[in-house]
Structure 1
Amino acid sequence: MNDKQKLIAPRLPRGFEDRAAGEIAAVDEMIAKIRAVYERYGFDPVETPMFEFTEALGKFLPDTDRPNAGVFSLQDDDEQWLSLRYDLTAPLARYFAENYETLPKPYRSYRAGYVFRNEKPGPGRFRQFMQVDADTVGAPGPEADAEMCMMLADVMDALGLAGKYVVKVNNRKVLDGVLQSADVTGYEQKLAVLRAIDKLDKFGIEGVRLLLGEGRKDESGDFTKGAGLSGAQQQVVLDFISGKTPDENEGVEELRAMQALFLSAGYGNDRIEIDPSIVRGLEYYTGPVFEVVLTFPVTNEKGQQVVFGSVGSGGRYDGLVSRFRREPVPATGCSIGVSRLATALKLTGNLGQQEPMGPVVVLVMDRDQTAGYQAMVSELRNAGIRAEMFLGQTKNFGKQLAYADKRNSPAVIIEGGDERARGVVQIKDLIAGKEAAKSITDNVEWKTERPGQFECARSEIVEKIKALPAVAAWLARQT
């Protein structure tokens, strides 16, 4: 390369993140537990592509020539706009409509994958993140919505969060009835009211009252414009979120039916509760809505103790599939945010293995014997054990050992000329060696003791490696 040639700076785009082996292993373990619960409920996996025709994501289309507000878009060779999926629900609606004649109804499926949002990134806000969704399409009754709530509760239990969460349930039909009673009819004003209700946990009743009225000024002096309701209108909304039972309507009946299902299945208010402050999308959701909220305290960026908050949500969206078909198609579903849930599991010590076991490394002591070293590696791999031959350029024993240590290897295999002549190898248990070395302070003693190192016959390599505690535990997890 020309010395004057400018090097490309290795930069990660804002709003995206790299993931190393330890995090991938931990998240994969978490998703496997979620999948197991979904499948226990009778949901089957389905996978849709990351790109969809932009019109299929309808509700996110901007009013511009290039549809890139909110979504990442490009034109294909036919000059049709394609967009990276914004969520996992719109692609499911398209898939169901396209395969309507062949799919069972109701259609129960789950999906796990990345979604993409062309929005301004910030702390905890990414442009690419993973979700795990489950949906039932074609079931109109509250039984399907109740099942989603119970399944979310079971997922939290399976992840070790029992006693640290509650699934909160409300109904958009109830909210719509309250808005009607309060004579709130304009779209923007409805949106402002729902946003105010959504701030109940954060600002309390008085904070919501201010947001329902002229507005609220925070500690920094920033002012948030309110919904502009009169005192009488405000009181209707405040009575509702304070627990006053609204007038009978279809939404109230559905909540009562769901509550009866929860109780009959053994889900008490400590796991699933009706909460009038739960608000979801203004147009997207059409019936029951729910959130799974973690209730344990964490310290926020201001040093304040607050509850962790929502890690999943969902609800009934009866209008989404109907964009593709003339007949009404009821649907309900839930979505779990993987990154946020992983953060919660880290805080509670339930994320699982943080650093996956690396491969057993066969050290290369003599370059002209690589065929023999490769044979050892093949024997280990054929026995289901992760293994590799050292492929670096160095002949230095210490540097090869340091490489294995950096790979988180459970052991290395050493065969020099003396061992080869006697038909043996040296196995160095790196994990046991580290523990034993803690009590050794003298370098000479360490070289003499060779902590964790033992000799075995060349023919016993697989048997001896399998017997190492770290390898035995890893093999047990694979079956």
Structure 2
Amino acid sequence: MAKDKKQPRPKAVTPKGFRDYFGSEVAARNTMLDKIAAVYHRYGFDVLETSAVETVEALGKFLPDVDRPNEGVFAWEEDSDWLALRYDLTAPLARVFAQHRNDLPTPYRRYAMGPVWRNEKPGPGRFRQFYQCDADTVGSGNVAADAEICAMLADTLEAVGIERGHYVVRVNNRKVLNGVLEVAGLEGEDQRANVLRTIDKLDKVGPSGVLSLLTNGRLDASGAFIDGVGLSEDQTAPIMKFLTAKSHTNEHTLELLLRAVGGSQVGAAGVDELAQIADLLAAGGYSADRIVIDPSVVRGLGYYTGPVYEAELTFEITDEKGRPRQFGSVAGGGRYDDLVKRFTGQEVPATGVSIGVDRLLAALAAKGRIDAQQAGPVVVTVMDRDRMADYQAMVAELRNAGIRAEVYLGNPKNFGNQMKYADNRNSPIAVIEGGDEKERGVVQLKDLILGAQIAENATLEEWQERTNQYEVARGDLVEKVREILESQAR
């Protein structure tokens, strides 16, 4: 009789494009999201949690650079319907508003935070599951809603630790760009899309590089030739006027944009909206050093219909090769008046912003705003395994006092291993009660943070003079632990 083949053991590997998040990472993210939520709440936005799964029909064809609705998402068929994990938090919002519009206030102001999934090719820093943090106003066509989102974004960056002068919120308007394309005589959607993609490379190749790509093409850094769009000089003139309209003041930038759009009515309407946004922001105390009109902002081919904005961090960091560079964009959004219309048949104006949570966390880490290691619990050591009830009583007292604590639950035979465990947990204090301490009604408290500092900086004589261990009455356990924790926080 043949022996049954053993089933191979599963490989303990994370699926490609996904990653695990451990305690300190999750804690840092939650802390940041709490600060963001506090700003959104202060602005009057309500939290909304939507299902992680939507119908493919509801998600639609709004995933960037994807022609088919079920490509780029994790989708499956169920009872003749195609379902998919959400790829962003905006498409579910459109579905929610269309579904519950009779029960929701209009305008409806909501924020949402959570993971999204994209079935795209992963790469360095590019994962298939990542966090987004959105805020949107649905049902208002007033540009004051766009101005408010920009102001809230600036306040949010400062609330999480990006100081003024190290960020700028840049604002443009797709109507202005559409007016420029109209003046340039570009009618076909394919040609317009190629021009928009080329304009979006301004930060990388500069005005002269964009001009080359709009016309005959150019050599890239590797020496390869990139074909141009093939526009004439007359066609590129208004586009280059638009791209180089950024000036030292918002007022002068608006003047230059008005010239760039020529006789286009839609372009002039876009410039007027930008002027209104600038006036509203100035009235709220948001000067051009925080929020600025910038024609180089191009977002969402076919998605945005009016004002668009990006938050860019302007401080320098060092890349993997030791070269200085600016951190770049961490948030973006704009007005999208056609998304809800897919469900209702009627245009519903909407505007919103999405923050790249992982990028913003990386920025805060680069600025030293995130603790590299999360504080661990107070560890109650076990000197006598027959007295676990005593140790559990101590831990219960600490927890009831709001102090994070745990009993060591490994093998208590080796006390050194217990202290190594406390160090690995980044514990601030170890509680010790052996038979002698029990008999005398006392406990020993070891300040592990101070002990580490003494070990790192003190001489042998100083080590002998200073102490990081205290003997206190058993009844004073909670009071003394709290005192030590407060001293560590200073």
Partner of 2:474: 458
Look up the match of 2:151. 150
1:202 is matched with: 204
Matching residue within 46, 53, 56 for 2:55: 53
Structure 1 residue 192 displacement after superposition: 1.4
Aligned to 2:41: 39
Task: Please state if 1:339 is matched with 2:358.
Answer: yes
Q: Which residues of 2 match residues 272-311 of structure 1 at below 5 A? A: 272-300=291-319, 304-311=323-330
| Matches of 1:213 and 1:109, distance apart in 2 | 44
Is 1:176 the counterpart of 2:178 in the alignment?
yes
Code of the aligned partner of 1:114 = P
Unaligned runs of at least 5 residues, structure 2: 246-255
- Letter paired with 1:393: N
Q: What is the alpha-carbon distance in structure 2 between the residues aligned to residue 3 and residue 10 of structure 1?
A: 21
Task: Give 1:420's aligned residue.
Answer: 438
Deviation (angstroms), 1:356 = 1.9
Unaligned runs of 5+ in 1: 475-479
- Following TM superposition, by how much is the alpha carbon of 1:438 offset from its aligned partner in structure 2, in angstroms? 3.1
2:396 to 378, 384, 387: 378
**Aligned residues of 1:25 and 1:355 also touching (Cα < 8 A):** no
8 Å Cα contact 1:25/1:354 also seen in 2: no
Distance 1:179 1:355 in 2: 52
Match 1:361 to one of 361, 370, 379: 379
Percent identity reads 56
> Which segment drifts farther, 89-98 or 462-471?
462-471
Aligned-residue offset at 1:225: 3.1
Which has the higher mean CA deviation after the structures are superposed, 132-141 or 274-283? 274-283
Query: Match for 1:469: what amino acid?
Result: L
Deviation at 1:471, TM superposition (A): 8.0
Deviation at 1:29, TM superposition (A): 1.4
TM-score (norm 2): 0.90
2:176 is aligned with 1:160: no
Partner residue, 1:477: none
Q: Does 1:69 align with 2:71?
A: yes
- 1:409 is matched with 427
1:76-120: CA deviation from partner (whole Å, max 9, x where unpaired):
3x2311111111000011011111110000000000111111111
The aligned amino acid for 1:79 is S
What is the CA–CA distance in structure 2 between the aligned matches of 1:251 and 1:92, rounded to whole Å? 26
One-letter amino acid of the structure 1 residue matched with residue 13 of structure 2: R
Looking at structure 2, the residues matched to 20 and 45 of structure 1 have their Cα atoms a distance apart, in angstroms, of: 26
- Tell me whether 1:97 sits opposite 2:116 in the alignment: no
For residues 63 and 138 of structure 1, the distance between their equivalents in structure 2, rounded to whole angstroms, comes to 28
User: 2:337·2:350 contact (CA, 8 Å) conserved in 1?
Assistant: yes
2:344 partner SS: coil
Instruction: Tell me which amino acid in the other structure corresponds to 1:42.
Output: G
Mean Cα deviation higher: 220-229 or 417-426 = 220-229
Question: Which region of structure 1 is more displaced relative to structure 2, 294-303 or 356-365?
Answer: 294-303
Cα distance between partner residues in 1 of 2:408 and 2:291: 54
Amino acid at match of 1:122: G
Secondary structure of the residue aligned to 1:333 is strand
CA change 1:471–1:407 in 2 (3 A) is farther
**TM-superposed deviation, 1:181:** 0.8
2: distance between equivalents of 1:464 and 1:137?
53
**Quick one: distance in 2 between partners of 1:439 and 1:297?**
32
* 300-309 or 26-35, larger mean C-alpha shift: 300-309
Amino acid aligned to 2:384: D
Aligned match of 1:110: 111
Task: Name the amino acid aligned to 1:50.
Answer: A
Between 1:197-206 and 1:242-251, the stretch displaced more is 242-251
CA separation of 1:164/1:471 partners in 2, compared to 1, >3 Å: closer, same or farther?
same
- How many residues in Structure 1 have an aligned counterpart in Structure 2? 467
- TM-aligned CA distance change 1:389 to 1:305, over 3 Å: closer
RMSD between superposed Cα atoms in Å: 2.3
* 1:132 paired to 2:150: no
CA contact (8 A) 1:415 1:424 kept: yes
1:270 to 281, 285, 289: 289
- Please show how residues 211-250 of structure 1 align to structure 2 within 5 Å: 211-243=213-245, 244-245=256-257, 246-247=261-262, 249-250=268-269
Q: What SS does the corresponding residue of 1:324 show, helix, strand or coil?
A: helix
Q: Which residue of 1 aligns with 2:10?
A: 8
Once residues 445 and 266 of structure 1 are traced to their aligned partners in structure 2, the CA distance between those partners, rounded to angstroms, is 54
Per-residue Cα deviation, 1:203-260 (whole angstroms, up to 9, x for no partner): 1111111111232321112333332211221122111111133236211111111111
3-state SS, counterpart of residue 456 of structure 1: strand
Given that 1:419 and 1:425 are in contact with CA atoms closer than 8 Å, whether structure 2 keeps it comes out as yes
CA distances 1:342-368 after superposition (whole Å, capped 9, x unpaired):
111111222x33322211111111111
> CA separation in 1, counterparts of 2:321 and 2:392?
56
Change (3 A) 1:57 1:4: closer
- When residues 42 and 426 of structure 1 are mapped into structure 2, their CA distance, relative to the original with a 3 A threshold, is same
Secondary structure of 2:61's match?
helix
Is the Cα contact below 8 Å between 1:26 and 1:354 reproduced in 2? no
Q: Match for 1:81: what amino acid?
A: W
Contact 2:383 2:412 in 1 (8 A): no
Distance 1:152 1:206 in 2: 32
Amino acid at match of 2:439: A
Structure 1 residues 409-444: Cα deviation after superposition (integer angstroms, max 9, x where no partner) = 1111111111111111111111111122335566x9
* Matches of 1:357 and 1:287, distance apart in 2: 46
Paired letter, 2:350? A
- In the alignment, the residues of structure 1 paired with residue 440 and residue 160 of structure 2 have an alpha-carbon distance, to the nearest angstrom, of 51
* Structure 1 stretch displaced more, 8-17 or 419-428: 8-17
Give the corresponding residue for 2:250.
none
Shifted more, 86-95 versus 241-250: the winner is 241-250
Query: 1:438 corresponds to which residue?
Result: 456
Mapping 1:19-30, distance limit 5 Å? 19-30=21-32
Structure 2 letter corresponding to 1:54? V
Q: State the alpha-carbon separation in 1 of the partners of residues 76 and 407 from structure 2.
A: 44
SS, match of residue 81 in structure 1: strand
Indicate if the aligned counterparts of 1:298 and 1:305 stay in contact, CA closer than 8 A: yes
- Alpha-carbon distance in structure 1 between the residues aligned to 2:165 and 2:466: 48
Deviations along 1:312-359, one digit per CA (max 9) or x if unpaired, are 001000000111112221100001001111111111222x33322211
